[in-house]
Amino acid sequence: MESHPLSHKFHDKTVAIIGGGPAGLMAAEVLIQGGVRVEVYDAMPTVGRKFLMAGKGGMNITHAEPRADFLSRYGTRRAQLQPMIEAFTPDMLRAWIQGLGISTFVGSSGRVFPTEMKAAPLLRAWLHRLREAGVRFHMRHRWVGWGDAHGLRFESEQGEVVVHADAVVLALGGGSWARLGSDGAWVSLLTQRGIAVAPLQPANCGFDVGWTPHFSEKFAGQPLKAVTVTTTDLTGNVHRKQGDLMVTATGVEGGLIYALSAPLRDQIAAHGEATLYIDLAPNKPLSRVLAEVAHPRGSRSISSHLQSRANLKGVQTGLLRECLSREAFEQPEHLAAAIKALPVKLIAPRPLDEAISSAGGITFEMLNDQLMLHNLPSVFCAGEMLDWEAPTGGYLLTACFASGRQAGQGVLDWLAGKLTV
């Protein structure tokens, strides 16, 4: 770990980092390299709990797609995140991971994973390097706001602790998976100080449909594979994705749904519902599907007919029965149209705590370009507590790492007198 060229200036400075996820740890790395004394505080018994959980099914660290496509995944917050990501690109992130002794590879979808597919070896190597460099960790310290003389108040096993620091990095996460530490409790602490916080909402989440008990009991937990889904957002843009989704007891979830969660959530907020159109036969044109379902079925049941002619069975047929009237099944034109674009009404996103990530957070208008709060000089913010969102696929982690680096560099500039209020 190389030292910062100005490290000799900061040996008497202390920075408190509140939150031990990827953004907070990356800020700690930048700062310890800059010669600052770094103290990391986290409410949980160990750091990186959500990071570890996210890696349970394979640690998707970033994505290898072309830069313009990558940046487009940040939607309306691309302008704010682009400078940070260009300063710490996916390739630079991979090189940084390599520096920890962890190799990465690009999967068939363009997603980037550690060779072992796990988060734990990466986190262990990183924490070892940070501790060796002098970063100190204070676990089971829950931040509860500011005290007199801008002291940071923490609840700990020893009672309340007040800490004074030359600068602070807040990296407290969003509001999903509260059991792992990101419970959104910081929102009221900042709004009390006049900081505008966009409401935390579920992102990369499932949605409720309100299935009938019969359908829910029979098909919950079954996947719909290789389907195409389409929805139109509030501005009239059509979003179309192909992949797999999962039928749940209350609705739908899975990667295909997560990728569309932002427009679906916003439609529900505006209109009380969102319509998702599912193409159950994306590789067949409507004309062919119509010819198949219109073929005389003789004495066969409609289910047998759909299986033999259109290769639809199980949950696919069940979904058609759930969403269509009995009369529509007897009309080939209506049935074929539904197979190609079955309208499914979504009535609510699943609760925030179930979501993979959260939208909302500290609005960028509250921050300067180096992520310092205008209203609270010397206080910087990073990670998911900022007002942005992105789909799964490595985009979330990349932006958390990049914003942590940005905040850490901002603190160094502040301590060097390069930033003004």
Listed by start position, the domains of the chain span 7-202+356-415, 207-349
Q: CATH number of the domain at 7-202+356-415, out of 3.50.50.60, 3.40.50.2300, 3.90.226.10, 3.30.420.40?
A: 3.50.50.60
At residue 4, the pLDDT reads: 47
Smallest CA-to-CA distance from 108 within 63, 72, 139 is with: 63
| pLDDT score at 6 | 44
pLDDT on residue 7: 47
Q: Which residues of the chain have pLDDT under 50?
A: 3-7
How far is the C-alpha of 3 from the C-alpha of 301, rounded, in Å? 74
pLDDT at 55: 64
pLDDT tens digits for range 118-144: 899 999 999 999 999 999 999 999 999
Q: Quote the pLDDT of residue 301.
A: 77
Q: Which two tokens stand for residue 239?
A: 């979003």
DSSP string, 198-234: EEEEEES--EE----HHHHHHHTT-EEEEEEEEEE-T
Strand order in the sheet with 111-114: 62-63, 111-114, 104-106
pLDDT of residue 392: 87
pLDDT score, position 9: 65
Each residue's pLDDT tens digit, 183-209: 889 999 999 999 999 999 999 999 999
pLDDT score recorded for residue 95: 97
Supply the Cα-derived Rg of the chain in whole angstroms.
Answer: 25
CA distances, 192 to each of 145, 146, 165, 167, 346 (Å): 10, 11, 21, 20, 35
- The pLDDT of residue 5: 47
The whole-model pTM stands at 0.90
What pLDDT does residue 218 have? 95
Residue type, 10: F
pLDDT of 308 reads: 74
What is residue 14's predicted lDDT score, i.e. its pLDDT?
A: 96
Strand 152-156's sheet: what is its strand order?
142-146, 152-156, 159-163
Non-local (6+) Cβ contacts of 377 within 8 A are 414, 421
